[in-house]
Amino acid sequence: MSDESTYETGGGPAAGTTPRTRAQERARAAAVTVRAVLHDLRGVDGAVYAAVAATPTPALDAGLRRLSNAADHSKISFAVAAGLALFPGRPRRAALAGVGAIAIASASANLLGKRLVRRPRPDREAARVVTGRQVPMPESASFPSGHTASAVAFATAVGVALPPAAVPLGLLASAVGYSRVHTGVHYPGDVAAGAVLGLASGTASLALGASLLRARPAAD
């Protein structure tokens, strides 16, 4: 009797609620929630971008514009790596780890992230970004920020391999990331995603370097 009541009250297969159906319903509910969260986050992202654009900062504009341009193709990081490579031992290993991290971050951002997400660049005219702070608008997709990913990846790898460099390189990477929002070419969310990707890339480069060092004695 208890079995019959279960079927009749809608708790059993008679109601069509199989485990697979319930799983599909949960998945649909989760997808709706995720879309709602992403919609809200995009709204916050746009609001922060607009707030930065609307804030007059004449003393910062030229410096951040130059920093953003100097970070093109990781020129700053490669210059630091070249300087570190002049010194044998730990500095040179840190330079190699940093360059490897840039390679991983750049490939991940440009060959995967941007092609998968295809987020349009911000509309600087609509946001009224001051002309004096602008840099050329890249033609690639906006998400994630490749400049930020590479700068954070380099700072992460070098900072772990050479701890005294961690703070200055971390501050530099943060400034590069902010400069991409300040100059109007990225939303804050692009920069945040680039930073996460950079951390992962720096960690991956260090892990790869450690595994190669462990394999070397065995090969010898």
Q: What is the pLDDT of residue 217?
A: 63
Q: What is the pLDDT of residue 87?
A: 97
How buried is 48 (Cβ within 10 angstroms: 0-12 exposed, 13-18 middle, 19+ buried)? middle
> Contact at 8 Å (CB) between 163 and 113?
no
Q: What is the pLDDT of residue 11?
A: 46
Q: What is the pLDDT of residue 26?
A: 87
- DSSP state letters, 62-107: HHHHHHHHHTGGGHHHHHHHHHHHTSTTHHHHHHHHHHHHHHHHHH
Q: What is the pLDDT of residue 4?
A: 43
- ω into residue 168 within 30 of 0, thus cis? no
pTM above 0.95, yes or no: no
Rounded Cα gap, residues 184 and 200, in angstroms: 25
The per-residue pLDDT for range 185-207, each reduced to its tens digit, is 999 999 999 999 999 999 999 99
The per-residue pLDDT for range 130-149, each reduced to its tens digit, is 999 999 999 999 999 999 99
**Domain map (residue ranges) of the chain:** 1-55, 58-219
> Contact at 8 Å (CB) between 64 and 179?
yes
Which parts of the chain register pLDDT below 70? 1-16, 217-220
Q: What is the pLDDT of residue 16?
A: 59
Backbone φ, ψ for residue 119 (5° rounding):
-75, 130
Structural element, H or E, at residue 174: helix 166-182
Rounded Cα gap, residues 81 and 77, in angstroms: 6
